[in-house]
Amino acid sequence: MLQESNRLELKAELTDKLEKEIVAFLNNREGGIIYIGIDDRGLPVENPDLDATQLKIADRIKNNILPSTLGLFDIVTEYIEGIGVIKILISSGLEKPYYIKSKGMSPVGCYMRIGTSTQPMSTAVIDELYAKRIHTTLRNIPSPRQDLTFAQLKIYYQERGLELNKQFANSLEFFTPDGKYNYIAYLLADENGVSIKVAKYGGKDKVDLKENEEYGYCSLIKATNYVLEKMKLENITKAEVTSTRRIEKNLVEPVPLREALINAMVHNDFSKEIPPVFEIFSDRMEFTSYGGLIQGQSREEFFSCSSMPRNRELMRVFKDVGLVEQLGSGMSRILRAYDRSIFEISEHFIKVIFPFSWTEEKDGISEKKVNGDDNGDDNGDDNGDEIKVLLILKKEPDLTAKKISERIGFSTRKISRIIKNLRETGRITRIGSDRKGYWKINE
Protein backbone atom coordinates (compact mmCIF):
# COMPACT_ATOMS: atom_id res chain seq x y z
CA MET A 1 0.00 0.00 0.00
CA LEU A 2 1.27 3.48 -0.91
CA GLN A 3 2.34 5.74 1.96
CA GLU A 4 3.40 9.37 1.91
CA SER A 5 7.13 10.07 2.20
CA ASN A 6 9.75 12.65 1.32
CA ARG A 7 9.20 11.75 -2.35
CA LEU A 8 5.53 10.75 -2.40
CA GLU A 9 2.34 12.79 -1.89
CA LEU A 10 -1.18 11.33 -1.99
CA LYS A 11 -4.28 13.37 -2.78
CA ALA A 12 -7.84 12.12 -3.08
CA GLU A 13 -8.73 14.90 -5.55
CA LEU A 14 -7.26 17.89 -7.35
CA THR A 15 -7.07 20.90 -5.02
CA ASP A 16 -5.74 24.47 -5.10
CA LYS A 17 -2.59 23.25 -3.28
CA LEU A 18 -1.24 21.45 -6.36
CA GLU A 19 1.23 24.19 -7.32
CA LYS A 20 2.65 24.27 -3.80
CA GLU A 21 3.34 20.52 -3.86
CA ILE A 22 4.84 20.66 -7.36
CA VAL A 23 7.15 23.54 -6.38
CA ALA A 24 8.32 21.62 -3.28
CA PHE A 25 9.27 18.58 -5.39
CA LEU A 26 10.98 20.72 -8.05
CA ASN A 27 13.09 22.16 -5.23
CA ASN A 28 13.68 18.70 -3.73
CA ARG A 29 17.05 17.10 -4.58
CA GLU A 30 15.35 13.89 -5.72
CA GLY A 31 12.14 15.25 -7.21
CA GLY A 32 8.97 13.39 -6.28
CA ILE A 33 5.65 11.80 -7.23
CA ILE A 34 2.11 13.02 -6.62
CA TYR A 35 -0.92 10.74 -6.97
CA ILE A 36 -4.28 12.38 -7.61
CA GLY A 37 -7.04 9.91 -6.77
CA ILE A 38 -5.60 8.12 -3.73
CA ASP A 39 -6.80 8.98 -0.25
CA ASP A 40 -4.79 9.12 3.01
CA ARG A 41 -5.39 5.41 3.59
CA GLY A 42 -3.74 4.59 0.26
CA LEU A 43 -7.03 3.57 -1.37
CA PRO A 44 -7.96 4.64 -4.93
CA VAL A 45 -10.82 7.08 -5.51
CA GLU A 46 -12.90 6.97 -8.71
CA ASN A 47 -12.38 9.95 -11.08
CA PRO A 48 -15.09 10.21 -13.76
CA ASP A 49 -12.96 12.33 -16.14
CA LEU A 50 -9.28 11.47 -15.97
CA ASP A 51 -8.39 13.10 -19.31
CA ALA A 52 -9.89 16.49 -18.43
CA THR A 53 -8.21 16.45 -15.02
CA GLN A 54 -4.83 15.65 -16.58
CA LEU A 55 -5.18 18.58 -18.99
CA LYS A 56 -6.01 20.91 -16.09
CA ILE A 57 -2.96 19.70 -14.16
CA ALA A 58 -0.60 20.17 -17.13
CA ASP A 59 -1.98 23.65 -17.77
CA ARG A 60 -1.56 24.70 -14.13
CA ILE A 61 2.00 23.40 -13.89
CA LYS A 62 3.09 25.09 -17.13
CA ASN A 63 1.43 28.44 -16.48
CA ASN A 64 1.56 28.94 -12.71
CA ILE A 65 5.17 28.04 -11.82
CA LEU A 66 8.51 29.71 -12.58
CA PRO A 67 11.18 29.12 -13.87
CA SER A 68 9.84 27.06 -16.78
CA THR A 69 8.87 23.50 -15.87
CA LEU A 70 8.75 22.10 -19.42
CA GLY A 71 10.59 18.78 -19.52
CA LEU A 72 10.52 18.47 -15.74
CA PHE A 73 7.19 16.72 -15.24
CA ASP A 74 5.24 13.82 -16.65
CA ILE A 75 1.55 12.95 -16.16
CA VAL A 76 0.38 9.35 -16.66
CA THR A 77 -2.59 7.18 -15.76
CA GLU A 78 -1.97 4.25 -13.42
CA TYR A 79 -4.48 1.60 -12.44
CA ILE A 80 -4.69 0.54 -8.81
CA GLU A 81 -7.21 -2.13 -7.89
CA GLY A 82 -8.76 -1.57 -11.32
CA ILE A 83 -9.36 2.15 -10.72
CA GLY A 84 -7.57 4.75 -12.82
CA VAL A 85 -5.58 7.36 -10.86
CA ILE A 86 -3.32 10.17 -12.02
CA LYS A 87 0.42 9.94 -11.37
CA ILE A 88 2.52 13.12 -11.66
CA LEU A 89 6.27 12.54 -11.82
CA ILE A 90 8.36 15.61 -11.00
CA SER A 91 12.09 15.90 -11.63
CA SER A 92 14.46 17.89 -9.49
CA GLY A 93 15.01 21.16 -11.37
CA LEU A 94 18.38 22.76 -12.05
CA GLU A 95 17.12 26.34 -11.74
CA LYS A 96 16.13 26.37 -8.07
CA PRO A 97 14.37 28.00 -6.35
CA TYR A 98 11.12 27.28 -8.19
CA TYR A 99 8.13 29.30 -7.04
CA ILE A 100 4.44 30.00 -7.61
CA LYS A 101 4.25 32.72 -10.25
CA SER A 102 1.54 34.80 -8.57
CA LYS A 103 3.37 34.75 -5.19
CA GLY A 104 6.85 35.57 -6.44
CA MET A 105 10.24 34.35 -5.23
CA SER A 106 9.37 34.72 -1.55
CA PRO A 107 8.51 32.48 1.43
CA VAL A 108 4.85 32.51 0.34
CA GLY A 109 5.80 31.36 -3.16
CA CYS A 110 8.78 29.04 -2.58
CA TYR A 111 8.28 25.67 -0.89
CA MET A 112 10.39 22.68 0.09
CA ARG A 113 9.67 19.12 1.12
CA ILE A 114 10.43 18.18 4.74
CA GLY A 115 9.47 14.61 5.57
CA THR A 116 5.87 14.14 4.46
CA SER A 117 4.97 17.82 4.63
CA THR A 118 5.45 20.85 2.41
CA GLN A 119 6.95 23.88 4.15
CA PRO A 120 7.65 27.49 3.08
CA MET A 121 11.28 28.28 2.31
CA SER A 122 13.07 30.82 4.44
CA THR A 123 14.45 33.95 2.80
CA ALA A 124 17.99 32.78 3.57
CA VAL A 125 17.47 29.46 1.74
CA ILE A 126 15.85 31.25 -1.21
CA ASP A 127 18.81 33.64 -1.49
CA GLU A 128 21.31 30.77 -1.23
CA LEU A 129 19.61 28.70 -3.96
CA TYR A 130 19.25 31.71 -6.24
CA ALA A 131 22.97 32.49 -5.89
CA LYS A 132 23.78 28.93 -7.02
CA ARG A 133 21.25 28.88 -9.85
CA ILE A 134 22.70 27.44 -13.05
CA HIS A 135 22.35 29.96 -15.88
CA THR A 136 24.54 28.20 -18.45
CA THR A 137 21.73 25.99 -19.72
CA LEU A 138 21.56 25.27 -23.44
CA ARG A 139 18.50 27.49 -23.60
CA ASN A 140 20.66 30.54 -22.86
CA ILE A 141 23.51 29.70 -25.29
CA PRO A 142 23.04 31.25 -28.78
CA SER A 143 23.10 28.90 -31.76
CA PRO A 144 26.27 29.16 -33.88
CA ARG A 145 23.88 29.55 -36.83
CA GLN A 146 20.62 31.48 -37.07
CA ASP A 147 19.44 30.14 -40.47
CA LEU A 148 17.88 27.03 -38.94
CA THR A 149 15.11 24.87 -40.37
CA PHE A 150 13.18 22.05 -38.67
CA ALA A 151 11.58 19.88 -41.36
CA GLN A 152 12.95 16.65 -39.82
CA LEU A 153 11.63 17.52 -36.36
CA LYS A 154 8.17 18.29 -37.78
CA ILE A 155 8.09 14.85 -39.44
CA TYR A 156 8.93 13.10 -36.15
CA TYR A 157 6.11 14.99 -34.41
CA GLN A 158 3.67 14.17 -37.23
CA GLU A 159 4.53 10.47 -36.91
CA ARG A 160 3.34 10.70 -33.30
CA GLY A 161 0.10 12.37 -34.36
CA LEU A 162 1.31 15.79 -33.20
CA GLU A 163 1.53 19.01 -35.22
CA LEU A 164 4.03 21.82 -34.72
CA ASN A 165 2.20 25.10 -35.34
CA LYS A 166 3.77 28.45 -36.22
CA GLN A 167 4.57 29.09 -32.56
CA PHE A 168 6.41 25.78 -32.02
CA ALA A 169 9.84 27.43 -31.64
CA ASN A 170 8.48 29.46 -28.73
CA SER A 171 6.68 26.55 -27.09
CA LEU A 172 9.78 24.32 -27.36
CA GLU A 173 11.94 27.14 -25.94
CA PHE A 174 14.19 27.49 -28.98
CA PHE A 175 15.06 31.13 -28.27
CA THR A 176 17.53 32.87 -25.96
CA PRO A 177 16.19 35.71 -23.75
CA ASP A 178 17.18 38.22 -26.48
CA GLY A 179 15.24 36.36 -29.19
CA LYS A 180 18.00 34.41 -31.01
CA TYR A 181 17.89 30.70 -31.78
CA ASN A 182 19.57 28.86 -28.89
CA TYR A 183 21.71 25.71 -28.74
CA ILE A 184 18.65 23.50 -28.22
CA ALA A 185 17.32 24.71 -31.57
CA TYR A 186 20.76 24.11 -33.12
CA LEU A 187 20.88 20.50 -31.90
CA LEU A 188 17.37 19.77 -33.22
CA ALA A 189 17.71 21.63 -36.54
CA ASP A 190 17.96 19.93 -39.94
CA GLU A 191 21.62 20.91 -40.22
CA ASN A 192 24.24 21.45 -37.52
CA GLY A 193 27.89 20.71 -36.84
CA VAL A 194 27.35 17.97 -34.24
CA SER A 195 28.78 14.57 -35.14
CA ILE A 196 27.96 11.41 -33.15
CA LYS A 197 30.74 8.84 -33.55
CA VAL A 198 30.32 5.06 -33.48
CA ALA A 199 33.63 3.16 -33.53
CA LYS A 200 34.05 -0.60 -33.89
CA TYR A 201 37.28 -2.37 -32.95
CA GLY A 202 38.54 -5.86 -33.79
CA GLY A 203 39.78 -6.62 -30.27
CA LYS A 204 39.44 -5.63 -26.64
CA ASP A 205 41.41 -2.37 -27.04
CA LYS A 206 41.49 0.53 -29.50
CA VAL A 207 44.39 -0.76 -31.63
CA ASP A 208 42.46 -2.48 -34.44
CA LEU A 209 39.89 0.07 -35.65
CA LYS A 210 37.50 -1.69 -38.05
CA GLU A 211 34.79 0.95 -38.50
CA ASN A 212 34.48 4.63 -37.67
CA GLU A 213 30.99 5.80 -38.53
CA GLU A 214 29.64 9.31 -38.03
CA TYR A 215 25.93 9.96 -37.50
CA GLY A 216 25.13 13.60 -37.26
CA TYR A 217 25.11 17.00 -38.87
CA CYS A 218 21.33 16.62 -38.67
CA SER A 219 18.58 16.79 -36.04
CA LEU A 220 19.72 15.07 -32.83
CA ILE A 221 16.48 13.05 -32.97
CA LYS A 222 17.43 11.71 -36.41
CA ALA A 223 21.03 11.03 -35.29
CA THR A 224 19.75 9.17 -32.21
CA ASN A 225 17.54 6.94 -34.34
CA TYR A 226 20.47 6.21 -36.67
CA VAL A 227 22.70 5.18 -33.76
CA LEU A 228 19.89 3.06 -32.28
CA GLU A 229 19.53 1.22 -35.59
CA LYS A 230 23.30 0.72 -35.86
CA MET A 231 23.50 -0.74 -32.33
CA LYS A 232 20.49 -2.95 -33.02
CA LEU A 233 22.34 -4.44 -36.00
CA GLU A 234 25.52 -4.92 -33.94
CA ASN A 235 23.63 -6.48 -31.02
CA ILE A 236 23.39 -9.88 -32.71
CA THR A 237 21.66 -12.91 -31.21
CA LYS A 238 23.53 -16.14 -30.56
CA ALA A 239 21.72 -19.45 -30.29
CA GLU A 240 23.39 -22.25 -28.36
CA VAL A 241 21.85 -25.70 -28.21
CA THR A 242 22.60 -27.65 -25.04
CA SER A 243 21.55 -31.18 -24.12
CA THR A 244 18.42 -29.87 -22.43
CA ARG A 245 17.43 -26.62 -24.16
CA ARG A 246 18.14 -24.00 -26.78
CA ILE A 247 19.47 -20.69 -25.41
CA GLU A 248 19.08 -17.51 -27.44
CA LYS A 249 20.74 -14.36 -26.15
CA ASN A 250 21.76 -10.98 -27.52
CA LEU A 251 25.26 -9.67 -26.97
CA VAL A 252 23.66 -7.05 -24.72
CA GLU A 253 20.17 -6.95 -23.20
CA PRO A 254 18.23 -4.82 -25.78
CA VAL A 255 16.14 -2.67 -23.41
CA PRO A 256 19.02 -1.51 -21.15
CA LEU A 257 21.13 -0.87 -24.26
CA ARG A 258 18.45 1.40 -25.72
CA GLU A 259 17.89 3.26 -22.45
CA ALA A 260 21.62 3.83 -21.85
CA LEU A 261 22.10 5.08 -25.41
CA ILE A 262 19.26 7.58 -25.15
CA ASN A 263 20.46 8.70 -21.70
CA ALA A 264 23.90 9.36 -23.17
CA MET A 265 22.30 11.56 -25.83
CA VAL A 266 19.79 13.50 -23.78
CA HIS A 267 21.96 14.04 -20.67
CA ASN A 268 25.20 14.89 -22.48
CA ASP A 269 26.69 18.32 -21.69
CA PHE A 270 26.61 19.79 -25.19
CA SER A 271 27.58 23.23 -23.87
CA LYS A 272 31.25 22.14 -24.10
CA GLU A 273 30.67 21.00 -27.71
CA ILE A 274 31.71 17.41 -26.88
CA PRO A 275 29.14 14.88 -28.18
CA PRO A 276 28.65 11.36 -26.77
CA VAL A 277 30.76 8.51 -28.20
CA PHE A 278 29.67 4.90 -28.78
CA GLU A 279 32.29 2.13 -29.06
CA ILE A 280 32.03 -1.57 -29.86
CA PHE A 281 34.80 -3.98 -28.82
CA SER A 282 35.10 -7.75 -29.20
CA ASP A 283 33.85 -8.31 -25.64
CA ARG A 284 31.78 -5.24 -24.76
CA MET A 285 30.03 -2.02 -25.78
CA GLU A 286 30.92 1.33 -24.20
CA PHE A 287 28.75 4.46 -24.24
CA THR A 288 30.46 7.64 -23.04
CA SER A 289 28.70 10.95 -22.40
CA TYR A 290 30.35 14.18 -21.35
CA GLY A 291 29.48 16.07 -18.17
CA GLY A 292 29.81 13.76 -15.16
CA LEU A 293 27.21 14.05 -12.41
CA ILE A 294 25.04 17.14 -12.39
CA GLN A 295 26.12 19.75 -9.86
CA GLY A 296 24.60 18.88 -6.47
CA GLN A 297 23.74 15.30 -7.51
CA SER A 298 25.21 12.42 -5.50
CA ARG A 299 26.00 8.94 -6.82
CA GLU A 300 23.10 7.51 -4.80
CA GLU A 301 20.71 10.02 -6.35
CA PHE A 302 22.07 9.15 -9.80
CA PHE A 303 21.22 5.47 -9.22
CA SER A 304 17.96 6.09 -7.34
CA CYS A 305 15.92 6.29 -10.58
CA SER A 306 14.77 9.81 -9.69
CA SER A 307 15.10 12.12 -12.66
CA MET A 308 17.31 15.22 -12.73
CA PRO A 309 17.62 16.05 -16.44
CA ARG A 310 20.66 18.08 -17.47
CA ASN A 311 18.86 19.27 -20.60
CA ARG A 312 15.18 19.45 -19.73
CA GLU A 313 14.29 21.05 -23.11
CA LEU A 314 15.85 18.09 -24.94
CA MET A 315 14.15 15.68 -22.53
CA ARG A 316 10.78 17.23 -23.36
CA VAL A 317 11.29 16.80 -27.14
CA PHE A 318 12.69 13.25 -26.79
CA LYS A 319 9.58 12.39 -24.78
CA ASP A 320 7.25 14.04 -27.32
CA VAL A 321 8.65 11.91 -30.17
CA GLY A 322 8.53 8.68 -28.16
CA LEU A 323 12.24 8.13 -27.46
CA VAL A 324 11.69 8.64 -23.72
CA GLU A 325 8.68 6.96 -22.14
CA GLN A 326 8.52 8.28 -18.60
CA LEU A 327 10.76 10.48 -16.48
CA GLY A 328 13.22 8.49 -14.38
CA SER A 329 12.30 5.16 -15.99
CA GLY A 330 15.49 4.63 -18.00
CA MET A 331 17.80 3.91 -15.07
CA SER A 332 15.38 1.43 -13.49
CA ARG A 333 15.25 -0.54 -16.77
CA ILE A 334 19.04 -0.71 -16.90
CA LEU A 335 19.39 -1.79 -13.26
CA ARG A 336 16.85 -4.59 -13.68
CA ALA A 337 19.33 -6.44 -15.89
CA TYR A 338 22.75 -5.11 -14.79
CA ASP A 339 24.30 -3.97 -11.54
CA ARG A 340 25.89 -0.60 -10.88
CA SER A 341 29.36 -1.85 -11.71
CA ILE A 342 28.73 -1.27 -15.43
CA PHE A 343 28.87 2.49 -14.75
CA GLU A 344 32.14 4.43 -14.54
CA ILE A 345 31.59 7.96 -13.23
CA SER A 346 34.34 10.58 -13.25
CA GLU A 347 34.37 14.35 -12.88
CA HIS A 348 33.77 14.98 -16.57
CA PHE A 349 32.41 11.74 -18.04
CA ILE A 350 29.87 8.99 -17.42
CA LYS A 351 30.63 5.70 -19.15
CA VAL A 352 28.33 2.67 -19.39
CA ILE A 353 30.15 -0.60 -20.15
CA PHE A 354 27.98 -3.54 -21.30
CA PRO A 355 29.93 -6.85 -21.20
CA PHE A 356 28.82 -9.29 -23.87
CA SER A 357 26.71 -12.23 -22.72
CA TRP A 358 28.85 -14.52 -24.88
CA THR A 359 32.26 -14.13 -26.53
CA GLU A 360 34.26 -15.84 -29.28
CA GLU A 361 36.97 -18.04 -27.77
CA LYS A 362 39.59 -20.23 -29.48
CA ASP A 363 37.51 -23.33 -28.95
CA GLY A 364 34.25 -21.79 -30.16
CA ILE A 365 31.45 -19.95 -28.42
CA SER A 366 31.14 -19.88 -24.66
CA GLU A 367 28.16 -18.35 -22.99
CA LYS A 368 28.97 -15.93 -20.20
CA LYS A 369 25.95 -14.76 -18.26
CA VAL A 370 25.62 -11.15 -17.26
CA ASN A 371 23.37 -10.44 -14.29
CA GLY A 372 20.11 -12.40 -14.26
CA ASP A 373 19.22 -15.84 -15.51
CA ASP A 374 17.23 -16.89 -18.55
CA ASN A 375 13.98 -16.24 -16.73
CA GLY A 376 14.95 -12.63 -16.10
CA ASP A 377 15.00 -12.83 -12.32
CA ASP A 378 17.79 -11.76 -10.01
CA ASN A 379 19.06 -15.23 -9.23
CA GLY A 380 21.70 -14.80 -11.93
CA ASP A 381 24.83 -16.78 -12.56
CA ASP A 382 26.69 -16.54 -9.28
CA ASN A 383 30.17 -17.31 -10.63
CA GLY A 384 30.75 -13.64 -11.39
CA ASP A 385 28.59 -12.42 -8.52
CA GLU A 386 30.34 -14.64 -5.96
CA ILE A 387 33.71 -13.25 -7.04
CA LYS A 388 32.43 -9.72 -6.46
CA VAL A 389 31.30 -10.63 -2.95
CA LEU A 390 34.58 -12.44 -2.20
CA LEU A 391 36.63 -9.43 -3.31
CA ILE A 392 34.67 -7.14 -1.00
CA LEU A 393 34.91 -9.53 1.95
CA LYS A 394 38.65 -9.89 1.38
CA LYS A 395 39.05 -6.14 1.90
CA GLU A 396 36.38 -5.72 4.59
CA PRO A 397 35.62 -9.10 6.24
CA ASP A 398 33.25 -7.66 8.86
CA LEU A 399 30.70 -6.24 6.40
CA THR A 400 27.05 -7.26 6.80
CA ALA A 401 24.89 -8.50 3.92
CA LYS A 402 23.09 -5.15 3.92
CA LYS A 403 26.35 -3.21 3.57
CA ILE A 404 27.55 -5.52 0.78
CA SER A 405 24.24 -5.04 -1.08
CA GLU A 406 24.70 -1.26 -0.89
CA ARG A 407 28.23 -1.52 -2.31
CA ILE A 408 27.35 -3.84 -5.19
CA GLY A 409 23.77 -2.80 -5.88
CA PHE A 410 22.24 -6.29 -5.47
CA SER A 411 19.28 -6.96 -3.18
CA THR A 412 20.04 -8.04 0.40
CA ARG A 413 18.17 -11.29 -0.33
CA LYS A 414 20.49 -12.05 -3.22
CA ILE A 415 23.63 -11.26 -1.14
CA SER A 416 22.38 -13.54 1.65
CA ARG A 417 21.88 -16.35 -0.85
CA ILE A 418 25.38 -15.87 -2.32
CA ILE A 419 26.94 -15.90 1.18
CA LYS A 420 25.01 -19.08 1.97
CA ASN A 421 26.40 -20.73 -1.19
CA LEU A 422 29.93 -19.58 -0.34
CA ARG A 423 29.64 -21.07 3.16
CA GLU A 424 28.21 -24.37 1.93
CA THR A 425 30.98 -24.76 -0.64
CA GLY A 426 33.63 -23.97 2.00
CA ARG A 427 34.94 -20.83 0.34
CA ILE A 428 34.25 -18.69 3.42
CA THR A 429 33.99 -19.40 7.14
CA ARG A 430 32.29 -17.34 9.81
CA ILE A 431 34.58 -16.49 12.72
CA GLY A 432 32.81 -15.32 15.87
CA SER A 433 29.17 -14.33 16.35
CA ASP A 434 26.81 -13.06 13.68
CA ARG A 435 26.89 -9.62 15.28
CA LYS A 436 30.56 -9.11 16.12
CA GLY A 437 32.31 -11.72 14.00
CA TYR A 438 33.89 -11.61 10.55
CA TRP A 439 34.32 -13.69 7.42
CA LYS A 440 37.46 -15.70 6.73
CA ILE A 441 38.27 -16.33 3.07
CA ASN A 442 39.44 -19.92 2.50
CA GLU A 443 42.02 -19.63 -0.29
Asked if 89 contacts 76 with a C-beta cutoff of 8 angstroms, the reply is yes
Query: Coil, strand or helix: which one is 197?
Result: strand
pLDDT in tens, 256-282: 999 999 999 999 999 878 999 999 999
Q: Which residue has the higher pLDDT, 122 or 432?
A: 122
Amino acid at 69: T
Q: Are 121 and 111 in contact (CB under 8 A)?
A: yes
DSSP secondary structure string, 128-166? Answer: HHHHH-----GGGSBPS-S----HHHHHHHHHTT----T
Task: Give the C-alpha separation, 147 to 192, whole Å.
Answer: 10
pLDDT band at 386 (very low <50, low <70, confident <90, very high): confident
Q: Report the length, in residues, of the chain.
A: 443
Q: What percent of the chain has pLDDT over 90?
A: 56
Average pLDDT, the chain: 86
DSSP state of 44: B
Q: Give the DSSP H or E segment for 277.
A: strand 277-280
Reference 328, options 81, 17, 10, 7; nearest CA is 7
Q: Which CATH superfamily is domain 8-133 in?
A: Schlafen, AAA domain (3.30.950.30)
Q: Provide the terminal-to-terminal Cα distance of the chain, rounded to the nearest Å.
A: 46
d(C-alpha 64, C-alpha 148), whole Å: 31
| 382-441 CATH fold | Arc Repressor Mutant, subunit A (1.10.10)
Rounded Cα gap, residues 249 and 43, in angstroms: 41
- DSSP helix, strand, coil percent of the chain (3-state; round to 5): 35, 25, 45
Class of domain 136-375: alpha beta
Q: Give the percent of the chain with pLDDT over 70.
A: 91
Tens digit of each residue's pLDDT (9 = 90 or more) over 52-104:
999 999 999 989 999 888 778 889 999 999 999 999 999 888 889 999 999 99
3-state DSSP call for residue 102?
coil
Reduced to 3 states (helix: H, G, I; strand: E, B; else coil), residue 32 is: strand
Q: Which residues of 394-433 are buried (b: 16+ CB within 10 A; e: fewer)?
A: eeeeebebeebbebbbbeeebbbbbbeebeeeebbeeeee
pLDDT per position as a tens digit, 96-151 = 999 999 999 999 999 999 999 999 999 999 998 887 776 567 888 889 999 999 99
Say what the pLDDT of residue 360 is: 53
SS3 (DSSP) at 198: strand
pLDDT in tens, 311-360: 889 999 999 999 988 776 788 889 999 999 999 999 899 999 999 987 65
* pLDDT band (50, 70, 90) for residue 369: very low
How many Å is the Cα radius of gyration of the chain?
A: 24
Nearest to 327 by CA among 40, 119, 88: 88
Domain boundaries, the chain: 8-133, 136-375, 382-441
> Could you tell me which of 196, 165, 171 has the C-alpha nearest to residue 184?
171
Q: Is the dihedral of CA 88, 91, 92, 97 positive or negative?
A: negative
338-375 per-residue burial string, b: 16 or more CB within 10 A, e: under 16 = bbeebbeeeeebbbbbbbbbbbeeeeeeeebbbbbeee
